[in-house]
C-alpha cells in the first residue's frame, strides 16, 4: 500500500492524497473519498519516504552513560513523557561510560538520523566540545551547566553544601568524602566544591587524605568506605557524592560495627527511593529527576522549533533529613 494506490483508488492525484495527509487544500468531497479509502486499506504512509523527503525523522537521540542507574532512568522516564506527547520517537544510545562510544553516537546522530539530541553529560572533554560545535542538530546538555548550550542541570553545588551542613550539624569535624572522578563536572567537581566550601566556611580542617574516589556503583562505594576508614578510623561522618555511593559506604560502616548515626553520620545526594526504605533512612538532598527529564525534553522541542537557543535551566532541590544524620520518625520519610 503506497500513496499511488490510494490516489488511484480514490480517483485523485498522488499530490492530493499528500495534501490530505498534511492538511493542505482538499475539497470536502475528495477529502471524504480519500478518508474512506485510507480507512478501508489501513494505509500508513511510509516513515522512510517521509523522512527522506522532509529531512525530519521525528526521532530524538538520547545518549546516556548507563541505564541501570536510578537517577538516569528517572530522567529518561520524564523525557519519554514529553517526547511521546509531541509525537517523537526516542533513539536510546547507551555509551556505558565509554567516552569514545559517546563521541561515536554523537557523530552518528549528528550526521543524519535524528532531529535533536539530549546528551547526558558525564565527563565532557575537549573532543566532546569539538564534536558538539560541529553539530548541525539541536542539542540539550543534561546534567551539567555548559556555556553556550541549552542545558538542564541540578544545583549540585548548593545541594552539596546542604548535605555538608547536615553532617556538620551532627557535630562532626572529621568528615570523609567519597566522590567520583573530577573529570565529571557536576557530580565530581561541583559537589566536592560545595562540600569543601562549607567546611572551610566553618573553619574545619580537611585534607585530601579524607578523600576517596570511586565509580557510580554501591559496590564501589562500599570498598571506598573500607579504604577511607582504614586510613582514618576516627571519622565521624561520611559524605557520599551520590546516594548509591553513600548506601554502599553505609553498608560497610555498619558492617564494621559502627553505629549510624551515633558514631558515623552519613549523607548522600539525589534522594533515591532506597534511601527511605533502609534503616536508618539516608539523609540526602532530593533532586527532581523526572521533572528534570521533562524540562530537557521541552527545551529540546523549543530548540527544534527554532526558539530559545542557549537557555540554561538550573533545577531546584529539597533537603531530606533522615536517620543517618538524626533519628528519623519514619523510614519512608516525609512525602
Q: In angstroms, what is the minimal distance from the CB of 131 to a copy of itself?
A: 13
Regarding 52 and contact with a copy of itself (CB under 8 A), the answer is yes
Q: Is the dihedral of CA 62, 67, 73, 75 positive or negative?
A: negative
Q: In angstroms, what is the minimal distance from the CB of 52 to a copy of itself?
A: 4
Residue 42 or 68 having the CB closest to DNA: 42
Cα–Cα distance for residue pair 289/78, rounded to 1 Å: 8
Regarding 324 and contact with a copy of itself (CB under 8 A), the answer is no
DSSP letter for each residue of 161-177: HHHHHHHHHTT--SEEE
Regarding 251 and contact with a copy of itself (CB under 8 A), the answer is yes
Cα–Cα distance for residue pair 65/75, rounded to 1 Å: 13
Please list every residue from 171 through 230 that binds a copy of itself, using CB under 8 A: 217-219, 222
Residue 146 or 272 having the CB closest to a copy of itself: 272
Cα–Cα distance for residue pair 305/133, rounded to 1 Å: 19
Cα–Cα distance for residue pair 116/300, rounded to 1 Å: 7
Among 135, 196, 274, 291, binds a copy of itself (CB under 8 A): 274
Q: What are phi and psi of 206, to 5 degrees?
A: -150, 135
Residue 115 or 162 having the CB closest to a copy of itself: 115
Q: In angstroms, what is the minimal distance from the CB of 47 to DNA?
A: 8
Regarding 291 and contact with a copy of itself (CB under 8 A), the answer is no
Q: What are phi and psi of 178, to 5 degrees?
A: -110, 115
From DNA, a copy of itself, none, interface partner of 86 (C-beta below 5 to 8 A by class): none
DSSP letter for each residue of 240-288: ESSHHHHHHHHHHHHHTT--TTTT-EEE-SB--HHHHHSSSPPBEEEE-
Q: What are the residues binding DNA (CB under 7 A)?
A: 1-4, 11-19, 21-22, 24-30, 44-46, 48-50, 52-54
Q: In angstroms, what is the minimal distance from the CB of 247 to a copy of itself?
A: 5
Regarding 51 and contact with a copy of itself (CB under 8 A), the answer is yes
Q: In angstroms, what is the minimal distance from the CB of 306 to DNA?
A: 16
Cα–Cα distance for residue pair 202/168, rounded to 1 Å: 9
Amino acid at each position: 500500500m503506497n500513496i499511488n494506490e490510494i490516489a488511484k483508488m480514490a480517483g485523485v492525484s498522488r499530490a492530493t492524497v499528500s495534501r490530505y495527509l498534511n492538511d493542505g487544500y482538499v475539497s470536502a468531497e475528495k477529502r471524504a473519498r480519500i478518508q474512506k479509502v485510507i480507512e478501508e486499506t489501513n494505509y500508513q504512509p511510509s516513515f522512510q519516504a517521509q523522512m527522506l523527503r522532509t529531512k525530519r525523522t521525528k526521532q530524538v537521540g538520547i545518549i546516556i552513560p548507563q541505564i541501570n542507574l536510578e537517577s538516569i532512568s528517572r530522567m529518561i522516564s520524564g523525557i519519554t513523557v514529553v517526547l511521546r506527547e509531541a509525537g517523537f520517537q526516542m533513539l536510546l544510545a547507551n555509551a556505558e561510560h565509554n567516552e569514545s562510544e559517546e563521541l561515536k553516537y554523537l557523530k552518528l546522530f549528528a550526521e543524519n538520523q535524528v532531529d535533536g539530541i539530549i546528551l547526558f553529560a558525564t565527563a565532557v572533554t575537549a573532543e566532546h566540545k569539538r564534536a558538539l560545535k560541529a553539530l548541525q542538530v539541536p542539542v540539550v546538555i543534561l546534567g551539567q551547566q555548559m556555556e553556550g548550550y541549552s542545558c538542564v542541570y541540578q544545583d549540585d553545588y548548593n545541594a552539596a553544601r546542604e548535605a555538608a551542613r547536615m553532617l556538620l550539624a551532627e557535630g562532626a569535624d572529621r568528615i570523609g568524602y567519597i566522590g567520583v572522578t573530577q573529570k565529571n563536572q557536576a557530580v565530581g567537581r561541583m559537589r566536592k566544591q560545595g562540600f569543601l566550601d562549607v567546611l572551610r566556611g566553618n573553619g574545619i580542617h580537611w585534607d585530601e587524605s579524607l578523600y576517596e574516589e570511586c565509580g557510580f556503583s554501591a559496590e564501589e562505594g562500599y570498598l571506598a568506605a573500607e579504604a577511607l576508614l582504614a586510613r582514618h578510623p576516627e571519622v565521624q561522618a561520611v559524605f557520599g557524592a551520590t546516594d548509591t555511593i553513600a548506601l554502599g559506604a553505609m553498608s560497610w560502616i555498619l558492617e564494621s560495627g559502627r553505629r549510624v548515626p551515633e558514631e558515623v553520620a552519613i549523607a548522600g545526594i539525589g534522594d533515591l527511593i532506597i534511601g527511605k526504605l533502609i534503616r536508618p533512612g539516608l539523609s540526602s538532598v532530593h533532586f527532581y529527576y523526572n521533572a528534570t527529564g521533562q524540562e530537557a525534553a521541552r527545551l529540546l522541542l523549543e530548540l527544534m522549533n527554532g526558539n530559545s537557543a542557549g537557555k540554561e535551566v538550573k533545577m531546584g532541590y529539597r533537603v531530606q533529613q533522615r536517620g543517618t544524620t538524626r533519628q528519623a520518625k519514619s523510614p519512608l520519610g516525609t512525602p
